[in-house]
Chain A
Amino acid sequence: AQSVSQHNHHVILSEAASLELGCNYSYGGTVNLFWYVQYPGQHLQLLLKYFSGDPLVKGIKGFEAEFIKSKFSFNLRKPSVQWSDTAEYFCAVNARNTNAGKSTFGDGTTLTVKP
């Protein structure tokens, strides 16, 4: 069974600080990896995804994530956060090349950026 662990439940940063949110997954096979963001009062939307190729993935709004296979990690980074990045961030994984549509989500990390 797949599982996803997000290490930080709540992160508080000042504007212009750098961000790194941890995500580790547990699964024996090949996976697809995602980061979703949920802004206050809005629905989840995709930040970035990794299927194959370059393990450094760039997403929207200046976010990037690096897939480190040996560490089963897919950490999210942003060099300089803005107040508008305040949101909840979810890491998700699903098994590739199966007919199982389920994505397993982490518990989420709430990011608060102070102006």
Chain B
Amino acid sequence: DSGVTQTPKHLITATGQRVTLRCSPRSGDLSVYWYQQSLDQGLQFLIQYYNGEERAKGNILERFSAQQFPDLHSELNLSSLELGDSALYFCASSVGQVRIDEQFFGPGTRLTVL
């Protein structure tokens, strides 16, 4: 158990829908990262938040957005879902933001878009 929690574990939805994935970082960690793991693209960095502010952006689609709340939990919103969005979405957390330390990964949310 890494201390990072993600809900839900599984999510099945239809194309065109919108879903929200939730992540709670380890106690004391200020940074939250979102990754997408799909069969054809491997593990892709999406976005990082540090203490409520966006810090880095990766290959995140415009249909996707995220935020980090004052209690440091984060949500990843995926809208206008397409079949290709089916993937495992991982959240990770770390203590800091600049000198990157070990990232602790959550168990992931498996999204299936039908």
List A residues at the B interface (Cβ < 8 Å): 32, 34, 36, 42-46, 49, 90, 94, 96-108
Contact = CB atoms under 8 A, between A and B. Distances in A.
Nearest to B4: A43
Interface in B58-103: 58, 90, 92, 94, 97-100, 102-103
Of A42, A45, A101, A107, most buried by chain B (CB within 10 Å of CB) is A101
B31 A101 contact: yes
11 contacts: A46-B102, A46-B104, A94-B100, A97-B98, A97-B99, A99-B55, A101-B31, A101-B33, A102-B45, A103-B100, A108-B43
A32 B103 CA distance: 12
A45 B105 contact: yes
A103 B97 CA distance: 12
A103 B2 contact: no
Given A97-B99, A100-B56, A101-B50, A43 B2 contact: yes
Interface in B23-74: 31, 33, 35, 42-45, 48, 50, 55-58
Interface residues of B, number: 29
B58 to A, nearest CB: 5
B56 A102 contact: yes
Nearest to A104: B45
Of B31, B50, B105, most buried by chain A (CB within 10 Å of CB) is B105
A112 to B, nearest CB: 17
A102 B2 contact: no
Given A43-B105, A43-B108, A44-B105, A101 B42 contact: no
Pick the 5 closest A-B CB pairs, nearest first.
A101-B48, A44-B105, A105-B43, A107-B42, A101-B56
